[in-house]
């Protein structure tokens, strides 16, 4: 059996690989290579505020706002686009949300035994024991990376960044044939090199959501209670759109094609003792 052709030595980084942007030369590889590394880091910085107000009669409100940024190298212990230069993968994490506002409320209706109104009689039995709750959320979009096909870069085992040629403009289009952002800001990089775009540099759509619920407690005995629960998830049935197609070589590049978050209604009985 003839011997494999020699592998040309190439000067590279501390891992023995080429740095991004350098010519891969004539390196030949006959099998997958598992790259393990250490010393990677992530960090989280935020401004957090919280307001709570309790009123008499069983009414309470809570509001919280967070302005934050999460930076790291890759997601889920990997997922590197450029394996040969780990530092190129440092940027906002996939779960980073710049702004998040959450408000909640609890209201025990003032009817029934021990309450201000209709404390006795048929009205108390019908309207007593009800509680209305709700959670409202408004969150900005998650980031995504604009990538390109890796074949022209001659870098097996890696993905590739796209090239950014101008600042990105968010257009806000949703659906087939409509662009979420200006796709002319990105092009496929030339052969034998990685693109200059950073990781997770563009943001997708955020979402607004309201989840109310209605509870009622029925006393069974002195120690036993039966609780009826009606819970509504995404009451307004507002779509939660996904991120757009992020490959500059795709025919539908920049288009948002998926959504979730349909309205759901759940009823339950809970026995407390």
| 21-75 tens-digit pLDDT | 444 445 565 666 666 666 677 899 999 999 999 988 889 999 999 999 999 887 6
Tens digits of residue pLDDT in 138-193: 999 999 999 999 888 887 767 899 999 999 999 999 999 999 999 999 999 999 88
Please, are residues 235 and 135 in contact by the beta-carbon 8 Å criterion?
no
Burial class (CB in 10 A: 0-12, 13-18, 19+), 223: exposed
DSSP 8-39: PP---STTSSPPTTS--TT---SS--------
| Closest C-alpha among 197, 155, 191 to residue 17 | 155
pTM of the model: 0.77
Question: Please, is 238 exposed, middle or buried when counting C-beta atoms within 10 Å of its C-beta (0-12, 13-18, 19+)?
Answer: middle
Q: Three-state SS for 151?
A: helix
Mean pLDDT of 209-231: 90
Q: Which has more pLDDT, 219 or 14?
A: 219
Q: Which two tokens stand for residue 244?
A: 């757009």
**Local structure of residue 247 (DSSP, 8 states):** B
Dist. CA 10–CA 22, nearest whole Å: 10
- pLDDT, residue 35, reads 64
Helix locations, the chain, DSSP H: 122-127
What percent of the chain has pLDDT above 70? 84
Most confident of 116-120, 228-232, 258-262: 228-232
251: left (phi over 0), alpha (psi -120 to 50) or beta: alpha
Q: 15 pLDDT band (50/70/90 cuts)?
A: very low
Q: Give the model's confidence band at 9: pLDDT under 50 very low, under 70 low, under 90 confident, else very high.
A: very low
Residue owning tokens 């026995």? 271
Token pair belonging to 91: 């940027």
With a CB cutoff of 8 Å and minimum separation 6, the contacts of 263 are 232, 233, 234, 235, 236, 237
Residue 81, classified by CB atoms within 10 Å of its CB into exposed (0-12), middle (13-18) or buried (19+), is: buried
Tell me, what's the pLDDT at 1? Answer: 40
């Amino acid at each position: 059996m003839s011997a494999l052709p020699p592998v040309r030595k190439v000067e590279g980084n501390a891992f023995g690989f080429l740095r991004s942007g350098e010519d891969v030369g004539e390196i030949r590889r006959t099998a997958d290579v598992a790259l393990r590394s250490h010393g990677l880091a992530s960090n989280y910085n935020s401004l957090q505020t919280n307001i709570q107000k309790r009123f008499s009669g069983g009414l309470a409100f809570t509001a919280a706002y967070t302005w934050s940024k999460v930076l790291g190298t890759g997601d889920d212990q990997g997922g590197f686009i450029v394996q040969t230069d780990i530092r190129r993968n440092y940027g906002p994490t996939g779960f980073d949300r710049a702004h998040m506002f959450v408000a909640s409320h609890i209201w025990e209706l003032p009817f029934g035994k021990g309450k201000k109104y209709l404390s006795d009689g048929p009205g108390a039995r019908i309207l007593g024991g009800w509680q209305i709750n709700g959670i409202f959320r408004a969150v900005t979009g998650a980031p995504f990376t604009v990538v390109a096909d890796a074949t022209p870069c001659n870098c097996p085992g890696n993905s590739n960044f796209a090239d950014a040629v101008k600042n990105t403009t968010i257009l806000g289009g949703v659906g087939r044939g409509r662009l979420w952002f200006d796709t002319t800001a990105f092009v496929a990089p030339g052969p034998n090199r990685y693109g200059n775009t950073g990781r997770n540099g563009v943001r997708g759509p955020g979402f607004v959501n309201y989840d109310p619920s209605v509870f009622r407690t029925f006393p069974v005995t002195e120690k036993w209670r039966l609780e009826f629960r009606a819970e509504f998830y995404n009451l307004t049935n507002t779509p939660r759109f996904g991120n757009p197609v992020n490959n500059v070589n795709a025919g539908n590049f920049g288009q948002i094609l998926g959504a979730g978050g349909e309205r759901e209604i759940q009823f339950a009985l809970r026995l407390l003792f």
